[in-house]
């Protein structure tokens, strides 16, 4: 019997009340992260990845947001606990790194002050101790001359340096889980590689579980242990990164991999657009854009997840008992051979 | 350029501005006919003397026969050494008359300024935090009311209610009361309240709208993710950036009110402050005193703007001192 996962998310549902009706951004999503493991949530923009991760520690603004389901972290349900208890966990046991380092720091305070703040709100430390720890981390995340940069304001740092500082801020409480939401998206390519390498090293050093959100499958290949493919607020497929990359089962995963030239795809997009989150299609969310959709795909909600390989599960009717998944094309291994067959969706 | 050099440069510029103002004042004064010289000429004519000779004598007596640049140098020296001349209407030096007025003006100006500066931003940020709730609407209503109603009119109404009908406050300001006493606080409460409502509206609105932007900023999400409590997040991460744009509004508002509304409020409540001194000098056509109070107000404005610029750079670290 293995120990329970570090983070266990079940039936996570996040809705937003808008003037145009209730918008369901995340719809009954399950996933888990083990200690020291990296799990990547992938999917195109608007698929609910960010909202899902921000719902874990209830960073989502409530109202208009509403988060339901259970999020067990070290056995405690984060969604059921009072705010002040959850606040103890935020930034201490669970830390976040966000997408846009340019906007994620307050322009009125020095970088060091903001890093030290994360420590000060959780521990009773002296100014000197907080400064020493923050400087130490700035140094650790690769900022040269850290003790001098402590007193710099965010606008005096480059984008890459800012993201390094944000990572230092996240690590200051020695978290058990790091949630990184597209931390490299706003950075240029050379810096991206450095930040990824840094995160990889830090994960080993700090022994953290990492939940990594990205739409960049090239990044996933580098860092992930397991991957969760999301589309329109639902999980389409999940599994070990090698299994999913070598044997993508869901048509959406296959299309997604086709989009990445580095993985052997043709770099083309997926025709059609995401469904309206206020009025999602019945049946499989991807059916309107799927070349292999049939009547069974359009009713009875998102199909149940079916094991296709140990640890790899897919939500697609074609894998049900008695069905032949080869209609989806032979296991493409990311070759992107049949992308021409994709028809445009329902619009 | 470092901060120190910026402050020095900005201060020198403020000094230059004050000199320009002094110069313009002098030129206007030199170009205008001097009523005392005309009076001397009229007197001479009435008594059968030579009006031209009498005018000449009057001019000599006041040094007006000197060349313009000598008179200018004297005038500037006088302004900067606080030798502002004799206030005929009050039979005392102008500076003394102004100092006496300031003594009373400060008694209500210091409280209303402190109250406005403390309460305005707090209520504004609170309003933003509860945007579109009844609390926000109530604060907004109060802000617009104070902003819209003329101070002197509001003062008269309150004086009527509390002074005449309820007889809770004296109708005429009593200068015999000690500065730090309950009676003085009671008689100043209404003017202070009137000025606070007049000044706080704009400050509340600016704080509310600016902080509304910052409370939705990404760095607030960062703060929340760090485990910062909502109260601390508002105090540090919303209030602080809000103070940057607010500092400009704040100084402008306070100066406008100090220079403008104070006079009306002093007249309504009968406070013998600096506004009242100016008003009486205007009625009595006491040129030196009018000039003195005008210069005093102008210098307050120059110093206020100087402080505003310095505070602005201290509050917003992104402002560069270069090219200024």
Using an 8 Å CB-CB cutoff, list chain A residues near B316.
Answer: 107-108
Proportion of chain B above pLDDT 90, given as a percent: 12
Separation of alpha carbons B71 and B101, rounded Å: 29
Q: Which residues of B touch A (CB under 8 A)?
A: 217-219, 221-229, 232, 236-237, 240-241, 244, 315-318
pLDDT given for residue A332 in this prediction: 56
Q: Which of A217, A328, A336 is nearest to A268 (CA)?
A: A336
* Contact state of A103 with B219 under an 8 Å Cβ cutoff: yes
Q: Pick the residue of B128, B219, B225 with the most A CBs within 10 A to test the interface with A by mutation.
A: B225
Q: Which residues of B touch A110 (CB under 8 A)?
A: 317
List the single residue in A90, A100, A106 with the smallest CB-CB distance to B225: A90
Phi, psi of A125 (to 5 degrees): -115, 155
Question: For residues A104-122, b (16+ Cβ closer than 10 Å) or e, as one string?
Answer: bbbbbbbbbbbbbbbbbbb
- B86/A224 Cα distance (integer angstroms): 86
Residue B195 pLDDT > 60: yes
Which H or E run contains A125? none
Spatial distance between the Cα atoms of B229 and B222, rounded to a whole number of angstroms: 12
Pairing type for strands A76-77 and B92-93 reads unpaired
Burial B102-128 (b: 16+ CB within 10 A, else e): eebbebbbebbbebbbeebbebbbbbb
What does residue B56 show for φ and ψ, rounded to 5 degrees? Answer: -60, -45
Query: Would you call A108 and B224 a contact, using CB atoms and an 8 Å cutoff?
Result: no
Quick one: average pLDDT of B222-248?
A: 89
CA distance A15 to A27: 8
Q: What is the ipTM of this complex?
A: 0.84
d(CA A305, CA B192): 70
Contact A117 B225 (CB under 8 A): no
Query: Residues with Cβ < 8 Å from B150, sequence gap 6 or more?
Result: B264
CB A117 within 8 A of CB A111: no
Kindly give, in sequence order, each residue whose CB lies less than 8 Å from that of residue B210, ignoring residues fewer than 6 positions away.
Answer: B124, B241, B242, B245, B246
pLDDT at site B87: 83
Q: Report residue B249's pLDDT band, with 50, 70 and 90 as the boundaries.
A: confident
What angle is formed at CA B51 by the lines to CA B46 and CA B54, rounded to 5 degrees? Answer: 105
pLDDT for residue A342: 37
Best of A85, A108, A157, A186 to disrupt the B interface (most B CBs within 10 Å) is A108
Cβ–Cβ below 8 Å for B241 and A107: yes
- For residue A152, give the nearest of A200, A189, A194, A115 by alpha carbon: A115
Nearest CA in chain B to A83: B229
Look up tokens 């021409």; give the residue.
A340
Worst-scoring range by mean pLDDT, A153-167, B4-18, B243-257?
B243-257
pLDDT at A2: 62
Inter-chain residue contact B221 with A59, CB threshold 8 Å: yes
Contact B226 A118 (CB under 8 A): yes
Contact B218 A59 (CB under 8 A): no
Q: Are strands A306-309 and A209-214 parallel, antiparallel or unpaired?
A: unpaired
Burial of B5 by CB count in 10 Å (0-12 exposed, 13-18 middle, 19+ buried)?
exposed
Q: Please, are residues A64 and A253 in contact by the beta-carbon 8 Å criterion?
A: no
Contact across the interface for A121 and B315, Cβ inside 8 Å: no
Q: CA angle A319-A298-A248, nearest 5°?
A: 35
Q: Looking at chain B, which residue has its C-alpha nearest residue A170?
A: B226
Q: What is the pLDDT of residue A338?
A: 40
Omega of the bond leading into A64 within 30 degrees of 0 (cis):
yes
| pLDDT given for residue A331 in this prediction | 63
Chain B residues in contact with A91 by the CB 8 A cut-off are: 225-228
Nearest CB partner across the interface for A104, out of B219, B228, B241 = B219
Q: Which residues of chain A have pLDDT under 50?
A: 1, 334-347
Q: Which H helix or E strand runs over B207? A: helix B182-215
**d(C-alpha A260, C-alpha A263), whole Å:** 6
Q: Does the pLDDT at position B322 exceed 70?
A: no
Specify the pLDDT at position A111: 92
CA–CA gap between residue B247 and residue A125 (Å, rounded) = 33
The per-residue pLDDT for B151 is 85
A1-93+178-187+205-347 domain in CATH 3.30.420.40? Answer: no
Average pLDDT over all residues of chain B: 85
Nearest CA in chain B to A169: B226
The DSSP symbol for B164 reads I
Mean pLDDT of the B11-32 span: 88
Q: Residue B150 has which token pair?
A: 């003329």
- List the single residue in A with minimal CA-CA distance to B238: A106
Residues in B closer than 8 angstroms to A98, CB to CB, are 218, 221-222, 225
* Candidates A100, A121, A122; nearest CB to B218: A100
Give the model's pLDDT for residue B318: 80
Contact check, Cβ <8 Å, A96/B225: yes
A311 in the Ramachandran plot: left (φ > 0), alpha (ψ -120 to 50) or beta? left
**Residues facing residue A29 across a β-bridge:** A12
User: How much is the pLDDT for A237?
Assistant: 92
Check B224 against A98: CB less than 8 A apart: no
Q: Per the CB < 8 Å rule, is A117 touching B226?
A: yes
Which of B214, B227, B318 to probe the A interface (max A CBs under 10 A)? B227
**B228 vs A103: CB contact, 8 Å cut-off?**
no
Contact B318 A98 (CB under 8 A): no
Residue A230 CB contacts under 8 Å (≥ 6 apart), including other chains: A29, A41, A42, A43, A47, A48, A49, A52, A236
| DSSP for residue A301 | S
CB count in 10 Å sphere of residue B38: 13
DSSP string, B213-274: HHHTSHHHHHHHHHT--HHHIIIIIIHHHHHHHHHHHHHHHHHHIIIIIHHHHHHHHT--SH
pLDDT given for residue A330 in this prediction: 65
Distance (Å) from the C-alpha of residue A111 to the closest C-alpha of chain B?
12
Interchain proximity A90–B226, CB inside 8 Å: yes
Rounded to whole angstroms, how far apart are CA atoms B160 and B219?
50
Mutate to test the interface with A, among B226, B240, B244 (most CBs of A within 10 A): B226
Q: Please state the φ and ψ torsions of residue A153, each to the nearest 5 degrees.
A: -90, 155
CA of B322 vs chain A CAs: smallest distance (Å): 15
Q: Residue ranges of the domains in chain A?
A: 1-93+178-187+205-347, 100-174
Provide the pLDDT for residue A229. Answer: 93
Contact A57 B240 (CB under 8 A): no
Give the ranges where B32-133 is alpha helix by DSSP (H): 35-46, 51-61, 68-80, 94-129
Q: State the pLDDT at residue B138.
A: 92
Half-sphere exposure of B243 (CA within 13 A, CB side): 20
Structure-model confidence comparison of residues A131 and B261, the more confident one: A131
How high is the pLDDT of residue A228? 94
Q: Given the DSSP bridges, would you call strands A234-240 and A312-314 parallel, antiparallel or unpaired?
A: antiparallel
Residue-level pLDDT at A230:
92
| Chain segment B118-161, per-residue pLDDT in tens | 999 999 999 998 888 899 999 999 989 988 888 888 989 998 99
d(CA B191, CA B172) in angstroms, rounded, equals 12
| Contact criterion met (CB < 8 Å) for A107 and B225 | no
């Amino acid at each position: 019997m293995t120990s329970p996962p570090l983070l266990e998310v079940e039936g996570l549902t996040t809705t937003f009340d808008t003037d145009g009706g209730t918008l369901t951004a995340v719809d009954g999503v399950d996933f888990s992260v083990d200690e020291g493991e990296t799990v990547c949530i992938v999917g195109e923009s608007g698929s609910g990845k960010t909202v899902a991760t921000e719902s874990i520690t209830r960073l989502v603004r409530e109202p208009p947001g509403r988060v339901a389901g259970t999020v067990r972290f070290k056995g405690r349900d984060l969604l059921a606990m009072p705010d002040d208890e959850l606040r103890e966990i935020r930034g201490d046991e669970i830390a976040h790194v966000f997408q846009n380092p340019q906007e994620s720091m307050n322009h009125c305070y020095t970088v060091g002050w903001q890093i030290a703040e994360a420590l000060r709100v959780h521990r009773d430390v002296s100014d000197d101790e907080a400064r020493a720890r923050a400087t130490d981390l700035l140094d650790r995340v690769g900022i040269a001359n850290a003790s001098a940069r402590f007193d710099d304001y965010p606008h005096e740092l480059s984008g890459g340096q800012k993201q390094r500082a944000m990572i230092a801020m996240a690590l200051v409480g020695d978290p058990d889980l790091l949630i990184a939401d597209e931390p490299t998206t706003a950075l240029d390519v050379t810096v991206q590689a450095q930040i990824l390498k840094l995160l990889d090293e830090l994960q080993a050093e700090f022994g953290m579980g990492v939940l990594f959100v990205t739409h960049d499958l090239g990044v996933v290949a580098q860092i992930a242990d397991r991957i969760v493919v999301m589309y329109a607020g639902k999980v389409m497929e999940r599994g070990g990164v090698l299994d999913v990359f070598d044997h993508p089962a869901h048509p959406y995963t296959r299309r997604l991999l086709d989009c990445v030239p580095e993985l052997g795809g043709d770099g083309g997009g997926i025709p059609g657009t995401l469904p309206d989150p206020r009025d999602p299609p019945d049946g499989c969310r991807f059916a309107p854009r799927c070349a292999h959709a049939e009547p069974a795909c359009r009713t009875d909600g998102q199909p149940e997840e079916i094991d296709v390989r140990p640890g790899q599960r897919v939500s697609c009717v074609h894998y049900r008992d008695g069905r032949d998944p080869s209609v989806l094309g032979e296991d493409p291994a990311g070759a992107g051979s049949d992308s021409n067959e994709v028809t445009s969706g329902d619009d | 350029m470092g901060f120190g050099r910026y402050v020095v440069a900005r201060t020198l510029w403020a000094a230059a501005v004050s000199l320009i103002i002094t110069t313009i004042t002098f030129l206007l004064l030199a170009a205008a006919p001097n009523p005392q010289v005309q009076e001397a000429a009229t007197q001479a004519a009435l008594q059968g003397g030579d009006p031209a000779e009498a005018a000449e004598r009057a001019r000599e007596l006041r040094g007006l026969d000197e060349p313009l640049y000598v008179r200018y140098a004297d005038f500037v020296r006088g302004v900067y050494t606080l030798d502002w001349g004799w206030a005929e209407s009050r039979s005392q030096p102008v500076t003394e008359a102004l100092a006496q007025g300031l003594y009373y003006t400060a008694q209500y100006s210091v409280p209303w300024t402190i109250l406005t500066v403390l309460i305005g931003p707090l209520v504004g940020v609170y309003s933003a935090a509860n945007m579109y709730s009844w609390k926000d609407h109530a604060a907004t209503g109060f802000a617009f009311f104070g902003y819209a109603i003329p101070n002197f009119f509001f003062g008269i109404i309150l004086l009527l209610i509390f002074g005449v009908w309820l007889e809770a406050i004296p109708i005429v300001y009593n200068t015999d009361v000690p500065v730090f006493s309950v009676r003085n606080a009671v008689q100043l409460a209404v003017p202070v309240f009137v000025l606070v409502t007049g000044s706080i509206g704009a400050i509340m609105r600016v704080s509310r709208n600016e902080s509304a932007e910052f409370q939705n900023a990404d760095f607030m999400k960062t703060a929340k993710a760090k485990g910062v409590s909502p109260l601390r997040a508002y105090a540090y991460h919303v209030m602080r950036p809000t103070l940057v744009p607010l500092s400009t509004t704040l100084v402008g508002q306070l100066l406008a009110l100090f220079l403008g509304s104070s006079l009306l409020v002093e007249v309504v409540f009968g406070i013998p402050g600096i506004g009242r001194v100016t008003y009486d000098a205007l009625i009595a056509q006491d040129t030196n005193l009018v000039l003195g109070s005008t210069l005093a107000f102008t210098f307050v404005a120059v110093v206020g703007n100087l402080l505003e610029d310095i505070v602005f750079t201290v509050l917003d670290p992104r402002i560069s001192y270069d090219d200024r």
